[in-house]
Amino acid sequence: MFMSWFASSVLTAASAANGTCTFKADTDVGDQSSIISHTRGTFTQQQCCDQCRANAACAVAALLDASTGNEGCWLKSGEGGTYAHKGTTACYSGRSPSPSPESVPLTLLRPAAAPLARCMDGSPGGYYHAANASSTKWVIDLQGGGECASKKNCDGRVGSALFSSKYFSARTTLGKLAQAGTANARLATWNRVFVPYCSQDLWTGQRAAASDETYGYFFAGHHILAAVFDALEAAGGLASATDIVLTGESAGGIGVWPNVDYLAGRYPAARVVAAPIAGFYFFADPYTGPGHTASGLADFREAAWPAHFDLWQSFVDEDCAAAIEPWRCVLANNSFPYVSSHAFVIEAQTDQVVLNAHDWVPQDDPNWTAPVLNYMAQWHDNMTVALEPSMDPASPNGVFNPACFIHTSFSASSPLLSGLNYLDAFANWYFGGAGAKTKLQDDCGILCNPTCNH
């Protein structure tokens, strides 16, 4: 799950005797918290607390997600243990207490009722539901966390909640469009659902069995999603929904596109829309200049996609699959013309994780050398072109597209476009109103939005 954070200044470490540390797993500090220091690095839970204690200004620390899956920070309850992951410690000042986040319980799917809805290891999928029985409105959030399409990468998921529900937290905090609180007041009273990601197939997999062909793993993301809908119909009233927002971040955002028209087809009486966050992807054409790296996640070059599609037995938009080669339809840049549901696209003009993990841009290039900047400018132009249809005044879609080098780090405080954050912009688009700004896109070049957190 991707969580928001804000730092007003960065302080250096001081006497260890002056600070205390309470490690809180699965804690979303929210956008109203008083964070005055943060430290990025690679550390264990113990090291997180040690760094906090060494900072005299810090009273409480929380470990927050900064990227995706095992490639980023994923030390939540039941995950990681003493394993070191990249991430962020965020320290609260004494001016405000550590927040008491909303805690939502896990429901595991029953294997007898949903035999195909399996995580990579065959354990059942599940979901977290912040229920409101008096509401017929729903937000369904698909977790991100990379993907795997090779035995090496898939083996790297073993022992984590990206692999097995055995490692799911008993309770969690919902974020982004499903979060509680005043920053998301218009949606906070809806039924809000978070679906944890343990299939590593971009929510498209339809594998019914594990075999040598699948490295011994299941890829059943679409089956999990369909079973969650079934369970929410039986226990939560989803069948009577009048409004459904399907959202997700990163891999979850990618998964929104193949599944949103399927969702709309299941509930034809409801207004069903897509709100993907960092999920509008196109084929990779990697940077090959000085210092280039390689794909840290799955290979997203065009030639790799037929094999990914076959490995996962991907579910894709049916209209797209009828019009072009189905394997092309996994990514939004190809499926978008065929998706009927309206969408609000939340996407950076230069996506940090895509550029670093799929497009070979070196992460250790703090000065943005000329070859890298040139490549990023071309990437920015491609993203701008990709979103042109939704930016068209005649399109019913909305857009929030800042000139930032971020991935899913959208919060109530950053970035801003025309003074609006992504939550405000989505509310403008969904609920309407005279003069509401719904198509927000920087036109200043690359990396130029002053409110970006980069």
Q: Which 3 state secondary structure label does DSSP give 322?
A: helix
**Tokens 């200044």 -> residue:** 9
pLDDT higher at 60 or 347 = 347
pLDDT tens digits for range 337-372:
999 999 999 999 999 999 999 999 987 655 678 999
Cα separation, 361 vs 198, in Å, equals 27
| pLDDT band at residue 50 using 50, 70 and 90 as cut-offs | low
On the question of pLDDT at 20 being above 60, the answer is no
pLDDT higher at 54 or 16 = 54
On the question of pLDDT at 329 being above 80, the answer is yes
pLDDT score at 45: 54
The chain-wide mean pLDDT, for the chain, equals 82
pLDDT score at 237: 94
The H-or-E segment that residue 51 falls in is helix 45-53
pLDDT score at 436: 87
**What are phi and psi for residue 51, nearest 5 degrees?**
-65, -40
Cα separation, 391 vs 228, in Å, equals 33
On the question of pLDDT at 304 being above 70, the answer is yes
Q: Which 3 state secondary structure label does DSSP give 140?
A: strand
pLDDT score at 54: 52
Q: What is the DSSP letter of 414?
A: S
On the question of pLDDT at 207 being above 90, the answer is yes
pLDDT score at 435: 78
pLDDT score at 48: 56
On the question of pLDDT at 89 being above 60, the answer is no
Cα separation, 128 vs 36, in Å, equals 31
pLDDT tens digits for range 247-275:
999 999 999 999 999 999 999 999 999 99
On the question of pLDDT at 88 being above 90, the answer is no
**Range among 166-175, 218-227, 284-293, 364-373 rated most confident:** 218-227
On the question of pLDDT at 96 being above 60, the answer is no
pLDDT above 70 covers a percentage of the chain that reads 76
CATH T-level fold of 104-441 = Rossmann fold (3.40.50)
pLDDT score at 80: 31
